[in-house]
Structure 1
Amino acid sequence: MLRRGVLKPLDVAVAAGFAAFALTEEFVVRMPGDWWPYALTVFTALVLLRRVIPLVALAASSVSASAVLYDEPPINYRLWQLVAMIIASYTAGRLLRWGGARRDLVRAAVSAGLVLVTALVYWAYDRTDPMAAFFFSFAPYALGVAMALQTERLAETAAVRASIREQQAREAIMEERVRIARELHDMVAHSVTVMTIQAGVVRRRLEGGLPVDPQLLRTVESSGRDAVGELRRTLGLLRGEGTDTAQAPVGLERLDELIAQVREAGLTVSVRRTGEPAPLPPAADLSAYRIVQEALTNVLKHAGPARVEVTLDHRADGLHLAVVNDGPPAAPGATAGGQGLIGMRERVTLFGGELTAGPRKEGGFAVRAHLPGGRPPAAGSGDAAAVTRVTGEAGATGVPS
C-alpha cells in the first residue's frame, strides 16, 4: 500500500528508472538547450521524494511541463517532463485524501486544482489535441484516487472479516466456558449434595448415640473422589490439556452407579427401561445421563426422602426419559428455573429435543425430556415387541406419572 513517510526501495527504483529514461531521451533525441542536466537532477529528486512532498512534486512538475514555458505550438518540451508530471499526479491522487482533517481536505483540493489548471493550459496553448491535454494530467490523478479508494475498501473488508473472526472466537470461548460450567454444576453439585446429605445422616446418628453404617462413610468418600476427579478433568480442559489425563466421559451405562448413590443418600428409586436400547451419540448419551443426574440432585435438595421413578423409553424417534417423584409440593417460585433446569434445557435444545419440568397434580415434581436420534423403526416392530424391565431395591415403589 502506498503511504507517505520514509523512503522505500521502490522509490529509489522509480527515480532511477525515470533518470535512465530521461538520459536516454536527451542523448538519442538531442533536444536543444543546455539547462536540462540541472532540471533533470531536480526532477529526479522530486520523483524520489514524491511520497514525502507530494504537493510540491506535483506543483513543480506541472509548471515544468506546462505549455506557458514554451513557444507557440507545436509545444517543444521534453517527454521526461511529461512523465514526471504523470508520476507526480498519480502519487498526489493516491496519497492526498479528501476525507479526514481540514488540512488534508485543503491539500487534496489544491492538488486537484493543479491538475485542472495544467489540463486547461495544455488545451489553451494546443487546441489540436484536447483529449491528450486532459488525459495526461487527469488520467493518472484519477487512477491514483481509484487505487486509494480500492485500498480503503479492501482494508475495511479485511477489518470486518477480522472483527467477525474475533467475534466468532469470543463466542466459541464463551460456549466452551458455558459447557465447562454446566459440567461442573452437573457433576460436582451432585457429588457434593450426596456428600452433604450423607454426612448429615452420620452426624445425626452420632449425636443420637446410634451406630453408623460404614457404607455411608464409604459413599461420602466415593462421592468426594468423584467430585475431585471431575474438578481435575474440568480444570484440565480449562488449561488446554489433552484427553490423556481426562476421565472417560460418563453416560447411561453408569446410570446404575448414579442410582446407587442417591439410594444411599435416602431416596427410594426405581428404574424402568422400555423398548430396545439403541446406541446414542456420545454427546446425547452424556446429556441424557446429566439430565437424570440433575433431576435426582434436585429431588435430594428440595423433596427430601421421596420416592422417585426414572423411566428410559427407547422409541423410533429417540430416547424419552422421565424422572418423577412424589415429594411435597414445590415452594412458590421453586420451578422458576435455576441453573440446573437451565442446563437441562440447553442440553435438550442442543439436539432439537423437548423438555418439560413442573409440579404434578398428585404432588411432587416431574421432569420429562425427549432426545431425538434413536434407532429407525424395525420392520414388523410394534407394541408387542417392546421390552420392559423394572429394576429397583426390594420393596421400591414406582410413582405413577
Structure 2
Amino acid sequence: MGLKRTDIAVAAAFAAFALIEELTIAMPGGWWPFALAGFTTLILFRRRIPLLAMIPNALAATSMFYVDATIDGEKTVNFRLWQVVSMMIIAYTIGRERPRDRRGYAVIALTFGMYWSFNPGDPMADVFFPLAPYVLGRGVAAQARRSEVSARTIADLREQQARDAVMEERVRIARELHDMVAHSVTVMVIQAGVVRRRLEAGLDVDHDLLRSIESSGRDAVGELRRTLGLLRGEEGEPAQPPAGLDRLDELIAQVREAGLPVTVRREGEPAPLLPAVDMSAYRIVQEALTNVLKHAGPARTTVEIAYRPGGLHLSVVNDGTAAALRTGGQGLIGMRERAALFGGDLEAGPRAGGGFAITARLPR
C-alpha cells in the first residue's frame, strides 16, 4: 500500500498543528521535537503499520509524558494536545483500514488497555479519545463496504442490461434479414425456376419476369447493405422508406408474378398505426406468403386485413397440401416475436378442411 496525497496532507497538517501548539504554549520538556518527528512519521505511514503505530501513540498519551505546571498559583498536570490528536488519528486508521481478525483485535485491546492502565485522568475522556475515533473508522469502513457492494451490483445490472440490449438488437436484425432477404431470395428462386422450365420447353421467356427477378435481387442486396451499415454503426437514410401496409399491393404483385394466386380482403376503416406496428404487420404478411411459396407451391391464398376496435387483425390462409403444414422454423418464430413485441398474439397451424392458416392480432 503506497503513500497517497491524503497521507502526506494529514501528516503535514498534524505537524503544523503540533508546532503551533509548542511555539504558542511553550510547555517544558526538550524531548518534544524528537517525539513530534517520530509521531509525524507514524502518521505518514499509518496505513502500512496501523497496529504498530498505535502502541507508541497510546503510551505517549499516558501520564508518564504529562508535565507539571503551575497556573494561578495552583499546581496542575498538563499534557500536549498533539499527542492525543496523534493517537486519535491512528485509532481511526485502525478502525478504517485494519482487517477484522483475532490478531488485530488482540493488539487493539492490549494497546487500549495500556493506555487506560497508565492514565489516571478523566475516565470519560480516557474512553472517548481512543474509542470514538476507532468506532468512527469502523463505521466509515462498513459504509464503504456497503457502497462498494452496491456499486458492484449496479455495475453488474448495467452490464446485464447492455448485454440484453445487444442481444435484443441482434435478434431484431436477424429477424429483419430473414424476413426481407429470405422473401426476396425465395421469389427469385421460384421465378428463376419458371424461366428455366420455359427455356427447357423451348418457350419464350417473359421479360417482365426477368425484370422482377432483377428487382428482387436488388431489393435483397439493398437490404443487406442497409443492415450491415447498421451493424457497423453507420448512419444514413435507408435506401427506401420502412415497409408498411401501404406497400402491401407491391408485395401481392410480387408474389403473383412468382405464380402464387392471392386474393386480398380488407375490412373496416384503415386507421393510423405506429410505424413499428405497421412494419411488423407488413413483415408478418410477407413471411406468411413466403412460407406458402416455399412449402405449398401455387396454392390459392387469401390475405385479410381487418381494422377492428380490438386492434389490427391479419390472416393468411391457403389451401395447400400437407407439405405446407409446418409449425416450426425461423419464419414462424420471427412472426410470433413481432406480434408479442406489441402485446399481440399469433396462431399458426393446419386448417380442418385442409391447407394452412396464420392469424395475428396487433393492438393499435
CA distance in 2, matches of 1:30, 1:68: 19
> Helix, strand or coil: the match of 2:237?
helix
Deviates more, 1:224-233 or 1:68-77: 68-77
Quote the sequence identity (%): 63
Match of 1:90 among 87, 92, 95: 92
CA distance in 2, matches of 1:49, 1:272: 85
CA contact (8 A) 1:67 1:121 kept: no
Question: What is the identity, as a one-letter code, of the residue corresponding to 1:367?
Answer: I
1:22 is aligned to 2:18: yes
Residues 1:75 and 1:93: Cα distance change in structure 2 (over 3 Å) = farther
Q: Any gaps of 5 or more consecutive residues in structure 1?
A: 99-104, 374-401
Deviation per residue, 1:318-362 (Å, 9 max, x gap): 211110001112477x22x21111111111111111211110111
1:261 is aligned to 2:254: yes
> Corresponding residue for 1:364?
355
> Corresponding residue for 2:208?
215
Match of 1:139 among 129, 132, 155: 132
> Helix, strand or coil: the match of 2:322?
coil
CA distance in 2, matches of 1:116, 1:247: 80
Report deviation, 1:74: 7.2
Report deviation, 1:24: 2.5
CA contact (8 A) 1:62 1:114 kept: no
> Helix, strand or coil: the match of 1:244?
coil
TM-score (norm 2): 0.92
CA distance in 1, matches of 2:239, 2:115: 76
CA contact (8 A) 2:58 2:112 kept: no
CA distance in 1, matches of 2:67, 2:233: 80
> Helix, strand or coil: the match of 2:240?
coil
Question: What is the identity, as a one-letter code, of the residue corresponding to 1:82?
Answer: V
Deviation per residue, 1:102-147 (Å, 9 max, x gap): xxx355324422443245325xx42x63221111111111111111
> Helix, strand or coil: the match of 2:90?
helix
CA distance in 2, matches of 1:75, 1:357: 96
> Corresponding residue for 1:51?
47
> Corresponding residue for 2:72?
none
Residues 1:28 and 1:234: Cα distance change in structure 2 (over 3 Å) = same
Match of 1:353 among 344, 347, 363: 344
CA contact (8 A) 1:89 1:115 kept: no
CA distance in 2, matches of 1:200, 1:364: 24
TM-score (norm 1): 0.84
> Corresponding residue for 1:150?
143
> Helix, strand or coil: the match of 1:160?
helix
Match of 1:341 among 327, 332, 341: 332
RMSD, aligned CA:
2.1
Question: What is the identity, as a one-letter code, of the residue corresponding to 1:95?
Answer: E
Question: What is the identity, as a one-letter code, of the residue corresponding to 1:55?
Answer: L
Residues 1:346 and 1:245: Cα distance change in structure 2 (over 3 Å) = closer
CA distance in 1, matches of 2:238, 2:292: 32
Match of 1:252 among 241, 245, 253: 245
Q: Any gaps of 5 or more consecutive residues in structure 2?
A: 69-74
> Corresponding residue for 1:193?
186
Deviates more, 1:44-53 or 1:223-232: 44-53
CA distance in 1, matches of 2:128, 2:40: 23
> Corresponding residue for 2:83?
81
CA distance in 2, matches of 1:11, 1:354: 64
Report deviation, 1:264: 1.0
> Corresponding residue for 1:226?
219
1:304 is aligned to 2:297: yes
Residues 1:61 and 1:134: Cα distance change in structure 2 (over 3 Å) = same
> Corresponding residue for 2:7?
11
Report deviation, 1:63: 2.0
CA distance in 2, matches of 1:216, 1:252: 24
Residues 1:133 and 1:74: Cα distance change in structure 2 (over 3 Å) = farther
Report deviation, 1:7: 2.2
> Corresponding residue for 1:399?
none
CA distance in 1, matches of 2:302, 2:287: 14
Question: What is the identity, as a one-letter code, of the residue corresponding to 2:298?
Answer: P
> Corresponding residue for 1:377?
none
CA distance in 1, matches of 2:311, 2:146: 50
CA distance in 1, matches of 2:48, 2:285: 72
Q: How does 1:27-42 map to 2 (within 5 A)?
A: 27-42=23-38
